Chains A and B, each alone.
Chain A
């Protein structure tokens, strides 16, 4: 297991940041979701051994979060959400320094910094001062400094915050590549559900310091037996109207028609309507919940 936490409780005065949290996460790319104040950041700090816990125990990569904190941090790379860069340093120095803090010799750290900056696409900007970097470049620099020591687990805290679409795609592409092709596990904390869905295959939803939902994204996205998504060759609006005329609840949703069947109805009624209206159905499939629905459902249940 990548992460195993048992009954973790962490309070700050009257506020319970983590409340009897028990979670077990396999290796791979894990999305960490939750509204503000859900306990995501506290959980990340718990995994890194940065905070003292009130109660509970756990392991990250098989190391105890209480007694083997330094070992865990040696195996983990962390790219924080905040813009935490020294303004007067150049890119390669910044990444090399991160390597040195991880125990690399100066020469090794510099060499590795050059390699990593090439990998994250900052090879051309390596000798530029980091305060001249764009937001996307800064995020990639933080990612570079997080992986300079070749960690087993990379934790990315809101890595696409405030980025333009192109920069966001680059960071997501890098995160995907690290988890799928480079053998690193990934803990991807984000508010942006499409980003999590684009990178992760497993997700944890947190709220009020508790685990609300967890599992493979494909498993969490429920298949609905009585809800279908239809695309037709002709006019979607006309066919939607034809379905409604037949007593089938049909709504236009973007380029598709979403259909909700009543108990007495079946898919055959849809085919029959198409036959009668002379329409050609291009696609008819049971509707799956989106990650957004999974998230809101989990959060709503907890309230």
Chain B
């Protein structure tokens, strides 16, 4: 019996427009990567800081309302400066900013781990198995291919950044029960989402560029670890020895952290809260460091004059535009590498 006796039917179903073709690549990549236990573990681990962020915003919302739900925890708040106890709404934006600031410190770390797990295979595997023609012989543009691959990284980073930000913000809003929360913090929400976008685009394009450099995913992973860990070590070593302002910009993650400070405007929040130091360091510390960690913090020696309290974030001294410039340069370099390495099929066989 001929093998085609099962018949062949012509197909006249609907087709998606060209604008969304990249989504197919993203969907396939997300499905494939989700089978990796390490990816699932990293995503779940990356949700713990989100949980802490949400709890913090919820507690502050309830605190603003003097909710009875906080009665069992009143001890935690009794040492707060009077200014905060009497008018918590006035410090809402600053407290939220610090909460998001610390949240992103952890999430940038988790993002690096997730990129390391998800990214190396994305283009490298296509090169290894000659799969590029599978894409470019379809109605896809190169930009669709890159967007689709970037979407895979974006999805997983989004799970530990965008989704928690939206969830925590919504919970903070819900537990504050005040419209003024939006007017106070909408900029913080937008800044956080912009930072998520920056992390996704910057780390995603960088990883895709690395992935296009080798057919071996392990080498790609090694390059990523090198850029991430070694650049941190180098930056620390240079900061300790050269002691120039530009030294921290050698570290990739330092640049993301520096842009985070600028986007979230942490400096303003830190300044406002520093003023409360006049009301007593312990009180402010107790406001931002949960019990029982605040007891440990109390044992530290008093801070030198002119420096912010140690429980407030130590902000960078160099301009954020330097970091933005480094990240922009890396993006341009990544785009160049991608366009050079993945050149459709316009080459002599």
Contact = CB atoms under 8 A, between A and B. Distances in A.
Interface string B9-47: 111111111100100110110001000000000000000
A101 B24 contact: yes
Contacts of A71: 139
A70 B4 CA distance: 30
A86 B168 CA distance: 39
Contacts of B130: 80, 82-84
Given A80-B137, A97-B28, A123-B6, A51 B346 contact: yes
Nearest to A40: B349
A119 B24 contact: no
Contact of B133 (A82, A116, A121, A173): A82
A120 interface: yes
Contacts of B307: none
Most chain A Cβ neighbours within 10 Å, of B6, B10, B12, B140: B6
A70 B18 contact: yes
A173 B2 contact: yes
A108 B13 contact: yes
Contact of B27 (A74, A106, A173, A183): A106
Contacts of A101: 21, 24-25, 134-135, 138-140
Contacts of A123: 6
Interface in A104-118: 104-106, 108, 112, 115-116, 118
A51 B140 CA distance: 14
A150 interface: yes
Nearest to B7: A119
B175 to A, nearest CB: 38
Contacts of A15: 348
B131 interface: yes
A168 interface: no
A102 B132 CA distance: 15
B8 A182 contact: yes
Contacts of A150: 10-12
B133 A78 contact: yes
Contacts of B4: 119-121, 173-174, 177
A108 B131 CA distance: 23
Contacts of A48: 136-137
B345 interface: yes
Contacts of B179: none
A87 B131 CA distance: 10
Contacts of B180: none
B141 interface: yes
Contact of B137 (A73, A86, A103): A73
Interface residues of B, number: 42
Nearest to A77: B137
A177 B5 CA distance: 10
A97 B131 CA distance: 12
B153 to A, nearest CB: 18
Given A86-B125, A119-B8, A170 B133 contact: no
B347 interface: yes
Contacts of A70: 18, 139-141
A251 interface: no
Contacts of A149: 11, 15
A85 B131 contact: yes
Nearest to A140: B3
B131 A86 contact: yes
A227 B16 CA distance: 59
B344 interface: yes
B138 A104 contact: no
Contact of A100 (B14, B28, B32): B28
Contacts of B73: none
A98 interface: yes
B15 A104 contact: yes
A52 interface: yes
A260 B167 CA distance: 89
Most chain B Cβ neighbours within 10 Å, of A50, A85, A101, A173: A101
B56 to A, nearest CB: 39
Contacts of B132: 84
B24 A97 contact: yes
18 contacts: A42-B348, A48-B137, A52-B346, A73-B138, A78-B133, A84-B129, A84-B132, A84-B133, A88-B32, A102-B138, A102-B139, A103-B21, A103-B139, A108-B14, A112-B13, A145-B134, A173-B4, A177-B2
Interface of A: 12, 15, 17, 41-42, 45, 48, 50-52, 70-71, 73-74, 76, 78, 80, 82-89, 97-98, 100-106, 108, 112, 115-116, 118-121, 123, 145, 147, 149-150, 170, 173-174, 177-178, 182-183
Given A70-B139, A78-B137, A173-B4, 8 more contacts: A70-B140, A82-B130, A101-B24, A102-B139, A103-B15, A103-B139, A118-B7, A183-B10
